[in-house]
Amino acid sequence: MNSASGKPIDHRSLSWWIDKAVEWTVFLGGFSAIVFIIGIFVFITKEGVGFMGGSFDVGEFFGSIRWNPTSDNRPTYGALALIVGTASVTGLAMIVAVPFSLGAAIYISEFATGRTRETLKVLVELLAAIPSVVWGFIGLTIMNPLIIETFNVPIGLNVLNSGIILGLMAAPIMTTLAEDALKAVPDSYREAAEAMGASRWQVTWRVAIPAGRHGLVAAILLGVGRGFGETMAVLMASGHAINLPTSPFDSVRALTATIAAELGETAVGSDHYQALFTLGILLFVVTFAINLAADVFVRRSDKR
Amino acid sequence: MFASTERTLKAAKTERVVRRLLLGMTLLLILPVLLILGVLIAKGSPVISFEFLFSKPTNGMTAGGIFPALIGTVWLVVVALLASVPVGVAAAIYLSEYAPDNRLTRLINLAIINLAGVPSIVHALFGLGAFVIFFKFGTSILAASLTLAVMTLPVVIVSTRESLQAVPQAFREACWNMGATRWQTIRKVVLPNAVSGILTGIILEVSRTAGETAPIMFTGAAFFLPFLPEGVLDQTMAMSLHLFVVSTQVPNVPEALPYGVALVLVGMVLVMNAASVGLRTWLRGRRKW
C-alpha cells in the first residue's frame, strides 16, 4: 500500500508486530475448540479400539440384551438393553419437557412483559443451575417414595422417575433456546398481523411459531441431546437394572450410567474397560449427530 | 369503536384460555424447583453447623462433616478456572474481534457447540484417556480440573463473546480512527467495557464446575481421603461426588446427612448463580449506551 505522497507506509512498527502476535495467540484459543473435539474423539477411540477389533461382535452389541462383562466363563457385551434404556428414559423426558418448554418459551416471549418476563427467565435459569447429582438425589429421596405411594408399585426407581427428572433437567435449555428462536422472528412480522386485527395468540400461532420453526426444532434437538447424555441423575433414579422396559414402572439401565458405574472397577486395557469406551464412542457419535442436525436447523433459520 | 363480531369474540375467548394455559405450563415447570429447594432447606438445614462444615467425615462417612470435600471442590474449581479462562477468553476475543466470516470460523463455532453437547461421561472418558493415562498426570486434581476445564470451555467462550459483542462498534471505530491497532483497541476500549460481563460468565462457569460429578469420578476425585490435598497431583474429595457416595454407596448413613450435603452443594451453586444474574441485571441497568 502507498501513501498519497508515494512513499510506502511502514506497517511493521512494534505495535503492528504485537497486533499480529496477539491475533495468532487468540486464534490458537479459538482453534483449541476444534483440537479438543477431535482430541475427545481420538482418545476415546484409542482406548476403545482394541475391543472393536477383538471381542466386539456387532450383532451381539446391538442385538443382545446380555451385558455381562464380568462373567468368568464367557463375558457378553450386549448393549441393546442399555440403548433401549437410554431411549425410553429420554423419550419420556421429552414427553414431559417438549410441551412444557415450548409453552413456557411462548409465554415468556409472546405474552409476558417487563418484570414478569425477567423473573420467569431467572427462575428458569435457576432450574438449569441445579447440579445433576442433586437431581439424582431428588429422584432417590423424594420421587422414589412418591411414585411407590401414588401408583402402588414395588419400586419407584424406574423409567417414570428418571424420565421426569431428566425432563426437568432438559427443560431450561429448551425453553431458553426456543425463546431465542421466537425472539429472532422480526417484530415487523407480528405488527403486520396485528394490523390485520389478529389477537396475540393468532399472531403467535400463525406467524411467530411458523417463522421460528427451525429454531424451535433446533431447541428440541439440543434438549434431546442433553437428555441422552445425562449421567448422574439417570444412574441414581433409573434403578440401574438391565431390562427391556414394558411399562414406565420398570427399572432400566442407561448407556451413560453403565460407564459411570462400571469404569471404576475395570483394569485399564481390559476387554471390559475397552467395551465401556466403545459405549462412549456410541454416545459421542449420536450426540455429535444430534448437534450437527440442530446446527443445520439453526442455519436454515438464519438464512431468512 | 367497531362492534365486536362473533369471530373476534371467539378469538378473544381463545386468547384468554391459551394465555392461562401457557402461564400454567410455565409455572408447572418452575414449581418443582421451588418445592425441591423447600425440601432441601427443611431437611438439610438442621444438619448444618460450624462443625459439619469444618470437620472430616468419621465412622465410615456416616457421621462428621464435609470439610475435605468442600476444600477439594475449591481446588478443582480454581485449577479448572486457571486453565479454561485464559483459553476461553482468547477464543472469544478471536471470534468477536478478529475472525473473518469463513469456513474455519464456522468450524470453530460448530466445535464449540459440540463441545457443549458432548455428554459429561464422555468428557470423563476423554479425561481418563488423555490426562490420566496419556499425559501421565495420574488420578489427580490436575487431571480432573483439566477435564472440567475442557467441558466448561464453551460456557466461558460464549458468555465472553456475548459481552465483547455488546460493546458498540462505534467505540472501536473511534479508536481505529485515532490510528490504534486492533489489539490496542481491544485492550484500551473493548475489554474495559466488557470486563464485568466476562466476570458474569466466569461466575456462571464456577457454579457449573462445582456441581459436576461424572467428569471427576475417574480422573481425580476420591470417595474418601483422610487428608487434605497438598498439591495439584494429589487426589481429592469433592462435594458433588460426596453427595453421590453418601446417598448411594455407604450403608447406614443417617437420613438427614445427605440432605445436609445436598443443601450445601446447591447453596454454593445457587449463590454463585444468583451473583451472576444479579451482576448482569445491574450492568444492564447501568450501561451507558
DSSP tag of B237 = -
C-alpha cell at A157: 426407581
Whether B149 contacts chain A with CB within 8 A:
no
Question: Which pLDDT belongs to residue B276?
Answer: 85
Per the DSSP assignment, residues forming a β-bridge with B58 are: B63
Q: Is the four-CA dihedral A49, B213, B31, B247 of positive or negative sign?
A: positive
Distance, CA of A88 to CA of A231 (rounded, Å): 15
B178 in contact with A, Cβ within 8 Å:
no
Instruction: Tell me how crowded residue B133 is: count the other CB atoms within 10 A of its CB.
Output: 18
Continuous segment of H or E residues that includes residue A77: strand A76-77
- Closest-CA residue of B relative to A168 is B29
Residue B254 C-alpha cell reads as 443417617
pTM for this predicted structure: 0.91
Distance CA B161, CA B216 (A): 27
* Domain map (residue ranges) of chain A: 80-303
Instruction: For chain A, say whether B157 makes contact (Cβ under 8 Å).
Output: yes
**Residue A273 class from Cβ within 10 Å (0-12 exposed, 13-18 middle, 19+ buried)?**
buried
Instruction: Indicate the SS3 state at residue A29.
Output: helix
Q: Which of residues 48-87 of B touch A (CB under 8 A)?
A: 86-87
Which is nearest to B208 in space by CA: A164, A173, A120? A173
Instruction: Give the gyration radius of chain A's Cα atoms.
Output: 25
Q: Where are the beta strands (DSSP E) in chain B?
A: 57-58, 63-64
Phi, psi of A239 (to 5 degrees): 95, -25
Closest residue in chain A to residue B28, using alpha carbons only: A100
CA angle A262, A266, B220 (to 5 degrees): 80
Q: Tell me, yes or no, if B12 comes closer than 8 A to chain A by beta carbon.
A: yes
Inter-chain touch A134–B273, beta carbons under 8 Å: no
Torsion B133-A284-A143-A178 (CA) sign: positive
Contact (CB, 8 A) for B186 and B215: no
Is the pLDDT at A2 greater than 50? The verdict is: no
Contact B115 A36 (CB under 8 A): yes
Helix (H, G, I), strand (E, B) or coil at B133: helix
Residue reference for cell 477431535: A38
Q: Which CATH architecture has domain A80-303?
A: Orthogonal Bundle (1.10)
Q: How far apart are CA A168 and CA A97, in angstroms?
A: 6
Q: Closest-CA residue in chain B for A255?
A: B121
What pLDDT is attached to residue A1?
Answer: 45
**Cβ–Cβ gap A43/B129 under 8 Å:** yes
Query: What residues contact residue B99 under an 8 Å CB cut-off, 6+ apart?
Result: A30, B105, B108
Which pLDDT score, from 0 to 100, does residue B274 have? 86
Beta carbons of A107 and B23 less than 8 Å apart: yes
Task: Note the pLDDT of residue A3.
Answer: 46
A132 in Cβ contact with B213 (< 8 Å): yes
Distance CA A182, CA A299 (A): 15
Cβ of A15 within 8 Å of Cβ of B30? The answer is no
Structure ipTM = 0.91
DSSP-derived secondary structure for B60-110: TTTEE--HHHHHHHHHHHHHHHHHHHHHHHHHHHIIIII--SSHHHHHHHH
The answer to whether the Cβ–Cβ distance between A111 and B23 falls below 8 Å is: yes
- The residues, any chain, with a CB within 8 Å of residue A268's CB and separated by 6 or more, are B133
The closest alpha carbon to B139, from B76, B47, B209, B69, belongs to B76
Nearest-Cα residue of chain A relative to residue B184: A19
- pLDDT tens track, chain B, 289 positions: 566 788 888 888 888 999 999 999 999 988 988 899 999 999 999 999 999 999 888 888 888 889 999 999 999 999 999 999 999 999 999 999 999 989 999 999 999 999 999 999 999 999 999 999 999 999 999 999 999 999 999 999 999 999 999 899 999 999 999 888 889 999 999 998 898 889 888 988 998 899 999 999 999 998 898 889 999 999 999 999 999 999 998 888 888 999 999 999 999 999 988 888 888 888 777 776 6
B99 interaction partners in chain A (CB closer than 8 Å): 30
**Does residue B39 sit at the A interface (CB-CB below 8 Å)?**
yes
d(CA B191, CA A26): 14
Interface of B with A in 243-282 (CB under 8 A): 243-244, 247-248, 258-259, 262, 265-266, 269-270, 273, 277, 281
The residue of chain A with its CA nearest to that of B273 is A129
What cell numbers appear for A136 in the block? 439424582
Kindly tell me if the per-residue pLDDT of A5 is higher than 60.
no
